[in-house]
Every structure is written in structure tokens, then in C-alpha cells.
Amino acid sequence: MKASSSKKHGFLGLAAIVLLLAGLGVWMYFSLNYEIGFSPRNIKRGLDLSGGVSITYEAVDKTDTTEQQMKDALSKFQQRAEAFSTESNVYLEGNYRINVDIPGAKNAQEVLESLGSAGTIYFIYAVDKKGTTNVTTDSEGHYVLARDLKDIIADGDAPVDGSMVARAVGETIKTESGSLSNIVSLEFNTTGAGAFADATAWCATQSGMANCLAIVYDNAIVSCPMVRSAITAGKAQIEGMDNLEEAQRLATFIRIGALPVEMTPIRSNIVGATLGSRALETSLFAGLIGFALVCLFMIIIYRLPGFAATLSLIFYLGIMIVLLLAFDVTLTLPGIAGIILSVGMAVDANVIIFTRIREELATGKTVRSSIQLGFSKATSAIVDGNVTTLIAALVLYFLGSGVIKGFAITLGIGIVVSMFSGLVVTRLILNCYYNLGATNVGLYGVAKKTRTLRVVENWVKYCVLSGAMIIVCFVMLFVNKDKLGNILNYGLDFVGGSSVQVTFENSVPERSEVEMLVQTTISETCSVSEVKGENAIIIKTKAFLEDEGKLNDLKKAFVDKYGVSENDITTETISGSISDEMKSDAVKAVVIATICMLLYIWIRFRNLAFASSAVLALVHDVLVVLGVYALFRITVDTSFIACMLTLVGYSINATIVIFDRIRENLGTMGKKDSLKDVVNRSISETFTRSINTSFTTLITVVVLIILGVESIRIFAIPLAVGLVCGTYSSICITGSLWYFFKTKVANKKKA
């Protein structure tokens, strides 16, 4: 009776999983082939994958605009653009222009209205201290300016301006009486708090119109609130809006006017993808092939559990797609890197579990008991590895910006889903198999006797090899500095260059054709994107064409080949889209993430030696991959950031698995066992897991290298090196480092 009940439960459980996966498959089929709103087709893609809106702003008054004001305006635009997409790029074009690229956006006018156009914000006295009227009402009861705004400002009647506003948000709050009120919440910087306090203190003592402090945007009064009392805390609320939309609209005007310099849009385009549709299609195709090969490998190596892992991974991908849609995530190349890493961790969770199950079966335990113990013993390693990486993702999200934040979002979602799929879904599927009668040990495989590797004894050899790789890294950095002028081959994203727009009379030529023309004419690589609806393309190159005199050659080439007019070819100098602020944010976020990971490992393993060893191995991996970029002069752009962040997550996860086994073996070590024996045995017992996980992750990356376009290959090659290096350091470096800290350093402290 009991066996029959178990079999029934197993059948129902497996049927539910199959129906769920079938449902996901049907949903994907119909959503990809028919018009369905909640569809994988509707996952937001970054400007590099799908194009978007590109808007260029120019300072209205160039004579009085400083370099610092432009940098401040750049920062403000970056914050606003990220409200549309965390992957937005904002960069300087020339000395007085700012370019805003927002991926996925289709309506340039909508973006313009939200980002802002010409105009600055001022808070002015409705009636000044001399009794002069600045604000009056027209025949329809609307507030209007009674004098020219320039005269009002000149007279000192605009005590607060947009540069003093730190924050403006339209929201609905509950009042003390319990009713709802639509308000605009304001916060001022230090200068603004003082000026606003003085202005409101005077207005609060007045009556009539003199009691009002009007808000003027682009020479029009957008609000004229009364002042009840002096506001000295640097925070204020504007009340009286009829609805939330009105409050949000006023808040938008204030935010727009808070720019340190008056900007006006001079052009707006809907641009095509920089990487092009072929790059995306080949990447997806390569990803599918890689995923199929990973599933095949898991089934061949792990038999029935491998098939369970395949179902679990399909579930993982389906849920990931749903969550990307639900959270409205914008997907770019760095975001794809985050997914690749989380897929690797999902596979790794299954590998750790299956390895543990085989070890238990090797001791003679039953299949049922081995499954239970396998999951129980694997849980700590899986949770510690995933939580450590999740900590890094959270820090990168809150402290990073642009591509850093996009990477963090996809990685964070992927980690949570991968843990659930490995610890819950895979377990459910295996239990269903068992209840349906899959009790034969041969279906699961039995671990073979582990041959103990002498890793610690060979630590000098590994140190020499690692030292040599790191020395090559530093040597190449100096060589590149001498030959290239920079330690690395920085791409357009980092150093800027020139932007050339070419307008054609008829159809636009193929992207590859334009790239070849630029390469043969001025010996420069470039990125090409199409301006939709205008028969135009935008070419971006690292060369500063105006300075190097190559522009005339390029113009002549386009005139000769395509018959375009020289007047239809314009050029601008642009700054790197990865701003100094984004670079500093990235460095700060990675450093803080590393410290947080160190603290977590220290707390979980109750030993600083574990944390120190993990971080040193991480630094080793980063330096080796940096050496690959330097040695082969691979272009350093946004994909470089994605590669390094992926490496950080992978390296830590691989190290945690070995440390977890060391911690376990320390609790069971006998009197004859030395620390050296424990380290060697722990590395040996996890060796198969390390190799298999690395191999499965590498499969997808290698397929991208073979089938991907050049822009994808530039990202995949150093990533592959990083994966190999991370595996090497986790096996050969971390255990020996821990042993060194536990014996040498600890003994010195005791002495």
C-alpha cells in the first residue's frame, strides 16, 4: 500500500513538472509566433542589441558655461536616463553637447518630454521686498509673470534656482486626518537649504500675493504655492495638486530645471543596434547549441540525475525569461554575461549534488538515503557559493551605474532562480524518479575511489607559474603604455573619439560594407549604427578625425563610392560613454563587494584564513585575465567590465566549494591526519566537480567563440581564459594559501 502511494505521488509530481515545462514551451511557441504581450520577444534589449533613442543636447549659453557645469549636467542626465533603462549611455560630445542613448525606447518625443528641453527652474518672490509685483493673474485666473524674468533675476527676486534642488518627486501621501493628498516632495542641497529658509521666512510673514513663492520654468509659472511657515530643514512639500499625474508633472519640471546649465535638444534619432541583428541571432543560436551540449554532457556523465538536471535547467531558463519580463529588465551584453554566470552556477549546483549522491552510494547506502544525504551535504556549499555571489550582485546594483547595474540585476535574478532549481526542482524530480521505481544504483552511478592529489606539496611550482603569468601582465602593461600611450587598448567607450553621420540619398549600405570602407580608408576600426527613417548611419571611431586630418579622406571615400554630398557628412568629437563617474563607481563597487564577500566567508567559515585565501586567489585571476587583454591588445570596452565581473563571481563560487569540503573534513579528521592531508583530500574529492563545472560552462563560451560575430568573440575569448584560470586557482592556489595561513602565519603569531 505504501509503495503504491509513493508511486502515485511520484507519477503526479513528475506529471506536474512535465506539464509545467510543456506549458512554458507552448507559451514560448505562441508568444514567439503570434502577437502576445507577455512574450520573450518583448524583453527589453539594450542599445547594443536592439537600438533605441539617441538625443543630443547643447548648452544654450556657451560663453558662460564651464567644464565643471557640463560634467554636472552629464551626471544629472545620467540619473534621468536610468529611469528609462539602467543601461543608458550618456556622454559628452564636443565641449558643449551631451548625448543621451536610451536602449529600447521607440518614441523620441516621449523621451524628450521626460528628460527635459530648454529652460531652468527658479523660485521667485510673487511680490518682492520692495513691493514690486512679479506675479499676477490673467483673465482666466492663471498665474503669469508681470515682469521679464531677466529683470526679476537681476533684482535678486529669484532667491532659489534649479542648481540648489537635490530631489523632486511627485507622490501621494496619507495626511494626519487619514485622507490622501497629492504632493511634490522637495529636497535642497546645503546652499539651497539656506536660501530656501531665508526666502520662506520672509514670505511667511507677508499676506496676499507676497505670501507666495512662485516656481518658474522656461519663462512660465508652473506653480505658485503659499508659504505657511519658514522651512529650515532643507525639505519641503508642495500641496494642492488635483491628482498624482499633476504632482509628477510638476516634479518633472523641477528636476529638468535643476540642471546646472541650460540645455536644449538639437537632434533626436531612433538608431539601430550597434551589434546588429546578426550578432544577436548568432549569439542566441550559439547559446542554444551550448545549452544542448551541456544537457547532453550531464546525461552522459550523470545518467538519470543528469536527465533530472536537464529538466531543472529548462525550468530555470523558462522562469528566467518570465522574471526578465516581469521585472522589465533591459538586456545587454553585460546582462547576458550575468545570465551565463548564473547558468554555470545552476549547473554547478547539480554537479555538487550528484557528486555527493555518488559518494554516498559508494559507501553502500541505499538510493533513497543517498539522495537525501547528497542534498543535505551539498546544501551548505551551494548556499555559501550563491549567497557570496549574491552579496556581490547586490553591492554592484546599489553602488554601480549603467552596465554595472544591468549586470547585477540579471546575475541577482539568476542566482536566486538557480538555487531554487538546483535545491528544490532537481530534488523533486529525483524523488519522483525514485518513487516511480528508479531504485537501481546503476542509474545513478557510484563514485570511484579518489586518488589523493599532492597539491600542497607542489605549491612552489604553482607559485612560479602564477608569478610568471602576473609578471607577463605587468610587463605588457608597461609595453603598451610605451607603444599605445595607454596600458590597455581602450575602446571608444573609455577614451572617446569621433562620431561621423552620413546621410544617403537612397538606401543605406550594409554595416559590414561601411566598416570595411572605414578600415581600408583610414586604417581604423569602427562601430556603425543606423538612424532609422532618415537613410543615415552613425560611425564611431577611436580616431579623433578632426585632429588627425583623416576626415577628408573618409568624406572622399563616401563621395566616390556612394555619391553622397560632403554637406551630408558631419562629424563631432565625443567623450567616452563610460564616464569617469561610472569608472569610479565600478572600482568602488567591486572593492566594497570584495570586502563584503570576505566578511561573509570569514563569518560562515569562522576563520580569516579562508577569507584571505579566497580574495588573494580572486586578485590572481583578475591579474591573469588583465594580462590576456594586455598581451593580445583586446579592445577594452563595456564587455571588459562584464568579463571581469563574471570572473569575480565564478572564481569565488569555485573556491567556496573546496573550502566547504575542507571545513567538513576538518570536523572528521583523525589523529593521524595532518592539515596538509585534509587540504589534499578535500581538493581531490572536489576535483571532478571542479573540472565538470568548468567544462560545462566553457562549452557555451567556446560555442560563442566559434559561432559568434567579432563583437561577441572579443568578449568570449578572455572570458574563457578567465574560466580556466578560475578553475586552476581554485584547485591549485586557494587550498595551498589556506594551509600557508593556518600553519606559517598562525605559528608566527604564536611565537
CATH number, domain containing residue 563:
3.30.70.600
In the predicted model, what is the mean pLDDT of the chain?
81
Mean pLDDT of 476-501: 81
Angular region, 496: left φ>0, alpha ψ -120 to 50, beta rest? left
720 CB-side CA count, 13 A: 16
Query: Same domain, yes or no, for 358 and 415?
Result: yes
**Residue where a domain stops, chosen among 227, 258, 289:** 258
- For 744, the grid coordinates are 606559517
- The dihedral built from the CA positions of residue 212, 217, 218 and 222, taken in this order, carries a sign that is negative
Residue 342's pLDDT is: 77
Q: What is the pLDDT of residue 1?
A: 41
Would you tell me the crossing angle of helices 638-668 and 333-362 to the nearest 10 degrees? 20
728 with 691: CB under 8 angstroms? no
In a domain? residue 723? yes
| pLDDT tops 80 at residue 68 | no
Taking a C-beta distance cutoff of 8 angstroms, is the pair 350, 422 a contact?
Answer: yes
Of 205-209, 393-397, 574-578, 665-669, highest mean pLDDT = 205-209
Going 416 to 420 to 423 to 426, the CA torsion angle's sign is negative
**pLDDT above 70: residue 220:** yes
| pLDDT-based confidence at residue 118 (cuts at 50, 70, 90) | very low
Q: Which amino acid is at 411?
A: L
User: What sign does the dihedral 682-687-689-693 (CA atoms) show?
Assistant: positive
C-alpha cell at 596: 563584503
Pair (635, 721) in one structural domain? yes
Rounded to whole angstroms, the Cα distance separating 353 from 364 reads 17
Domain containing 376 equals 2-41+279-443
CATH number at residue 740: 1.20.1640.10
Residue 451 falls inside a structural domain? no
The per-residue b/e assignment along 625-634, b for 16 or more CB within 10 angstroms, e otherwise, is bbbbbbbeeb
d(CA 538, CA 561): 17
Q: Where are the beta strands (DSSP E) in 73-132?
A: 89-93, 97-103, 121-125
C-beta of residue 518 within 8 angstroms of C-beta of residue 497:
no
pLDDT-based confidence at 385, cuts 50/70/90? confident
592 and 713: one domain?
Answer: yes
Angle between helical axes of 580-605 and 608-631 (0-180°, round to 10): 150
Q: Are residues 321 and 364 in the same domain?
A: yes
pLDDT band at 33 (very low <50, low <70, confident <90, very high): low
Q: Both 527 and 651 in a single domain?
A: no
User: Of 738, 656, 701, nearest to 455 (Cα)?
Assistant: 738
Taking residues 415-425, report their average pLDDT. Answer: 89
Do 188 and 288 sit in the same domain of this protein? Answer: no
Domains in the chain, number: 5
Grid cell locating 329: 529588465
What are the φ/ψ torsions at residue 584 (nearest 5 degrees)? -65, -35
Residue 751 confidence (pLDDT): 47
98-114 pLDDT tens trace: 888 887 777 666 776 66
The count of other CB atoms within 10 Å of the CB of residue 584 is: 11
pTM of the predicted structure, to 2 decimals? 0.68
Same domain, 324 and 406: yes
Can you give the pLDDT at residue 738?
92
